Amino acid sequence: MATVSAGSGRLHVPLAVQDALRRGRPVEAARLLRKANPGVGPKEARAALADISRAPAGRIEGVAPPAGVGELPTEVAAKLAIGHTREAAQRLRDSQPGLSEDEAREIVERRASPLLQQARAGTIVRGDSGRFGWVGWLLVLVAAGTGLSLWLGGR
């Protein structure tokens, strides 16, 4: 993601806009740019897209792309940007047939955003490794079964 100056200020330029421009789809790029920046008119969007297309690849007003993303194919970087690392690894293997599955996964994990890694780490409940949670449920079921059998047997 980057920003670009427009007549009335700075605009947010998502990676999808840059990708649409690279694929030769300026109408889609303008639609995505306007969606990311409410209140931007068609003329401002066209002017901003002209600035973006004149900028050197990967750089808009001195904003560098994330480390290592410039070497990845566009579709891999797009999947990685939205957090779909498994699909990104598959697309990387498709674009570079000589890579093994483990090598592709390692490259994708190494290039993944630190924020994405931090978000994934925050989803695990503190103190739960996820390996032995079934033991607690088993104990609850045994206790419920024992209680039910005692209750029904006492009648």
60-64, 94-98, 137-141: which range is least confident on average?
60-64
What gap in Å lies between CA 105 and CA 145, rounded to an integer?
45
Same domain, 73 and 37: no
What value does the mean pLDDT take over residues 77-93?
Answer: 84
pLDDT value, residue 148:
93
Measure CA 20 to chain center: 17
Assess whether pLDDT exceeds 90 at residue 143.
yes
Nearest to 92 by CA among 82, 58, 83, 106: 106
pLDDT value, residue 73:
79
Question: Domain count of the chain?
Answer: 2
**Which amino acid does the sequence have at 54?**
R
Q: Which domain holds residue 29?
A: 2-54
Residue with tokens 């973006």: 52
Question: Which two tokens mark 88?
Answer: 């990104």
Establish if 24 belongs to a structural domain.
yes
Question: Which two tokens mark 132?
Answer: 């032995």
* pTM summary value: 0.37
Same domain, 46 and 92: no
Same domain, 154 and 91: yes
Establish if 60 belongs to a structural domain.
no
**Helix, strand or coil for residue 109?**
helix
Establish if 61 belongs to a structural domain.
no
Same domain, 71 and 50: no
**Helix, strand or coil for residue 94?**
helix
Same domain, 74 and 100: yes
pLDDT value, residue 134:
75
